[in-house]
Amino acid sequence: MHRLQFISHSEGSLAKLETQFRLSRSLGFMTDTRTTGAFSLMNELRQMLNALRRRLDSRHSSPVTRHKL
């Protein structure tokens, strides 16, 4: 359960970072070239977090047993 909380916090931090990059670009502090690479990495991280969440959810919902159902 703590791991899922960690993932939720990580997703929130990633969303905050994305907002900061969008604002920086809108205000002219960063170029489109720089933000494009950053957004690409953020999307990759989001996919990894989603995969980890699905993996942990499947482990949590499936009881461990040696017997076939």
Domain for residue 21, yes or no? yes
pTM here is 0.74
Domain for residue 35, yes or no? yes
Domain extent, residue 35, equals 2-59
What one-character DSSP code corresponds to residue 54?
H
Domain count, the chain: 1
Question: Count of alpha carbons within 13 Å of 65, Cβ hemisphere only?
Answer: 6
Domain for residue 19, yes or no? yes
Q: What pLDDT shows up at residue 58?
A: 83
Domain for residue 16, yes or no? yes
Domain for residue 18, yes or no? yes
Q: What pLDDT shows up at residue 44?
A: 98
Positions in the chain short of pLDDT 50: none
Domain for residue 65, yes or no? no
Q: What pLDDT shows up at residue 13?
A: 97
Q: What pLDDT shows up at residue 40?
A: 96
Residues in the chain: 69
